[in-house]
A and B are shown apart, each in its own frame.
Chain A
Amino acid sequence: MQLTLWTYEGPPHIGAMRIATAMTGLHYVLHAPQGDTYADLLFTMIERRDARPPVTYTTFRAQDLGRDTAELFKTSVAAAYARFQPQAMIVGASCTAELIQDDPGGLAKALNLPIPVIPLELPAYQKKENWGASETFYRLVRALAGAPGARAAREPGRRPLCNILGPTALGFRHRDDLIEIRRLLDSLGIDVNVVAPLGAAPADLGRLKDADFNVVLYPETARSAAEYLKKSFGQPFTQVVPIGVGGTRRFVEEVAALAGLDPAPVLDGPGSRLPWYSRSVDSTYLTGKRVFVFGDATHAIGLARIAARELGFKVVGLGTYSREFAREVRAEAAELGLEALITDDYLDVEAAIRAAAPELVLGTQMERHVAKRLGIPCAVISAPIHVQDFPARYAPQMGFEGANVLFDTLVHPLMMGLEEHLLGMFREDPEFHDGVGPSHLGGTPVAAPPPQAAPAPEAAPAPIHLDHPVSVAVAPWAPEAEKELKKIPFFVRGKARTNTERFARERQLPLITLETLYDAKAHYGR
Chain B
Amino acid sequence: MNAPVPPPTACGGIDLHQEHGQRAVFCGLTGIVWLHRKIQDAFFLVVGSRTCAHLIQSAAGVMIFAEPRFATAIINERDLAGIADANEELDRVVTRLIERRPDIKLLFLVGSCPSEVIKLDLSRAAQRLSGRLNPVRVLNYSGSGIETTFTQGEDACLAALVPDLPRESDTAAPSLLVVGALADVVEDQFLRIFAAMGIADVRFLPARRAGAMPAVGRGTRYLLAQPFLADTARALEERGARRLPAPFPLGAEGTTGWLRAAAEAFGISDDTFEAATAPGRARAETALAPLRGELGGKRVFFFPDSQLEVPLARFLARELGAELVEVGTPYLHRGHLAAEIEWLPAGTRVTEGQSLDDQMDRCRAARPDLTVCGLGLANPLEAEGLSTKWSIELLFTPVQGYEQAGDLAELFARPLRRRALLEV
A residues contacting B by CB (< 8 A) are 1-7, 9-11, 13-14, 33-42, 44-45, 48-52, 56-62, 64-65, 72, 75-76, 79, 83, 94-96, 99-100, 123-126, 128, 366, 369, 386
- Interface residue B114 (Cβ < 8 Å from any Cβ of A): yes
Provide a sorted-by-A list of 8 A–B residue pairs whose CB atoms are within 8 angstroms. A4-B72, A13-B51, A33-B113, A35-B25, A37-B376, A45-B379, A50-B382, A52-B377
Bound complex: CA A92 to CA B55 (Å): 19
Chain A residues with Cβ under 8 A from B74's Cβ? 1-4
Bound complex: CA A75 to CA B147 (Å): 21
- Interface residue B93 (Cβ < 8 Å from any Cβ of A): yes
Cβ A5 vs Cβ B1 within 8 A: no
Cβ B93 vs Cβ A3 within 8 A: yes
Which of B1, B70, B118 makes the CB contact (< 8 A) with A76?
B1
Proximity string of chain B (28-69) to chain A, C-beta cutoff 8 Å, 1 when within and 0 when not: 111000000000000000010111011101110010110010
Chain A residues with Cβ under 8 A from B22's Cβ? 37, 56-59, 76
Cβ A48 vs Cβ B73 within 8 A: no
Chain B residues with Cβ under 8 A from A65's Cβ? 117, 146
Known: A34-B149, A96-B113. A44 touches B51 (CB 8 A): no
Bound complex: CA A51 to CA B50 (Å): 26
B residues contacting A by CB (< 8 A) are 1-3, 22-30, 47, 49-51, 53-55, 57-59, 62, 64-65, 68, 70-77, 79-80, 86, 89-90, 92-93, 96-97, 113-114, 116-118, 144-147, 149, 357, 374-380, 382-383
Bound complex: CA A40 to CA B379 (Å): 11
Bound complex: CA A179 to CA B24 (Å): 34
**Shortest beta-carbon distance, B49 to chain A, in Å?**
4
Chain A residues with Cβ under 8 A from B2's Cβ? 75, 79
The DSSP consensus for interface residues of chain B is helix
Chain B residues with Cβ under 8 A from A41's Cβ? 58, 374-376
Residue from the set A6, A33, A58, A99 with the largest chain B CB neighbour count within 10 Å: A33
Cβ A33 vs Cβ B144 within 8 A: yes
Bound complex: CA A42 to CA B57 (Å): 11
Which of A1, A5, A34, A51 makes the CB contact (< 8 A) with B380?
A51
Bound complex: CA A50 to CA B379 (Å): 6
**Shortest beta-carbon distance, A286 to chain B, in Å?**
29
Cβ A4 vs Cβ B53 within 8 A: yes
Chain B minimum-CB-distance residue to A95: B49
Residue from the set A44, A57, A123 with the largest chain B CB neighbour count within 10 Å: A44
Cβ B145 vs Cβ A34 within 8 A: yes
Cβ A61 vs Cβ B86 within 8 A: no
Cβ A38 vs Cβ B58 within 8 A: yes
Chain B minimum-CB-distance residue to A56: B22
Chain A minimum-CB-distance residue to B354: A59
Known: A42-B58, A50-B383, A96-B113. A128 touches B50 (CB 8 A): yes
Chain A residues with Cβ under 8 A from B79's Cβ? 1
Bound complex: CA A78 to CA B86 (Å): 38
Cβ A125 vs Cβ B76 within 8 A: yes
Cβ A44 vs Cβ B375 within 8 A: yes
Cβ B117 vs Cβ A100 within 8 A: yes
Bound complex: CA A65 to CA B116 (Å): 11
Chain B minimum-CB-distance residue to A45: B375
Known: A37-B23, A75-B2, A99-B117. A124 touches B378 (CB 8 A): no
Cβ A1 vs Cβ B75 within 8 A: yes
Bound complex: CA A231 to CA B26 (Å): 43
Cβ A34 vs Cβ B53 within 8 A: no
Chain A residues with Cβ under 8 A from B1's Cβ? 56, 58, 72, 75-76, 79
Bound complex: CA A94 to CA B144 (Å): 14
Bound complex: CA A219 to CA B147 (Å): 39
Cβ B146 vs Cβ A3 within 8 A: no
Cβ A10 vs Cβ B50 within 8 A: yes
Which of B54, B65, B71, B374 makes the CB contact (< 8 A) with A3?
B71
Chain A minimum-CB-distance residue to B72: A4
**Shortest beta-carbon distance, A67 to chain B, in Å?**
12
Bound complex: CA A83 to CA B147 (Å): 28
Chain B minimum-CB-distance residue to A369: B65
Known: A10-B54, A11-B49, A99-B117. A1 touches B25 (CB 8 A): no
**Shortest beta-carbon distance, A42 to chain B, in Å?**
6
Cβ B23 vs Cβ A49 within 8 A: no
**Shortest beta-carbon distance, B165 to chain A, in Å?**
27
Bound complex: CA A317 to CA B310 (Å): 54
Given A5-B71, A34-B145, A36-B27, output 4 extra A-B contacts at Cβ < 8 Å.
A35-B27, A62-B147, A125-B75, A366-B65
Bound complex: CA A59 to CA B27 (Å): 10
Cβ A35 vs Cβ B26 within 8 A: yes
Cβ A7 vs Cβ B50 within 8 A: yes
Residue from the set B53, B73, B90 with the largest chain A CB neighbour count within 10 Å: B53
Known: A1-B75, A1-B86, A79-B2. A33 touches B49 (CB 8 A): no
Chain B residues with Cβ under 8 A from A128's Cβ? 50
